[in-house]
Chains A and B, each alone.
Chain A
Amino acid sequence: DTAVSQTPKYLVTQMGNDKSIKCEQNLGHDTMYWYKQDSKKFLKIMFSYNNKELIINETVPNRFSPKSPDKAHLNLHINSLELGDSAVYFCASSQGGTTAGNTIYFGEGSWLTVV
Chain B
Amino acid sequence: AQSVSQHNHHVILSEAASLELGCNYSYGGTVNLFWYVQYPGQHLQLLLKYFSGDPLVKGIKGFEAEFIKSKFSFNLRKPSVQWSDTAEYFCAVTRNSGNTPLVFGKGTRLSVIA
Tell me which of A90, A98, A106 contacts B99 (CB under 8 A).
Answer: A98
Q: Are A98 and B43 in contact (CB under 8 A)?
A: no
Which residues of B lie under 8 Å from residue A56 when comparing CB positions? 99, 101
Residue of B nearest to A41 (CB): B107
A101-B50 in contact given A43-B104, A108-B43 (Cβ < 8 Å):
yes
Chain B interface mostly: strand
Report A-chain residues with C-beta under 8 Å of the C-beta of B100: 98-99
Q: List A residues at the B interface (Cβ < 8 Å).
A: 31, 33, 40-45, 48, 50, 55-56, 58, 90, 97-109
Would you give the shortest CB distance from B9 to chain A, in whole angstroms?
Answer: 10
A-B contact pairs, 30 of them (CB 8 A): A33-B101, A33-B102, A40-B106, A41-B109, A42-B104, A43-B44, A43-B90, A43-B107, A44-B104, A45-B101, A45-B102, A45-B103, A56-B99, A58-B101, A90-B44, A98-B32, A98-B100, A98-B101, A99-B32, A99-B98, A100-B32, A101-B51, A101-B96, A103-B46, A103-B49, A104-B34, A106-B36, A106-B45, A108-B43, A109-B43
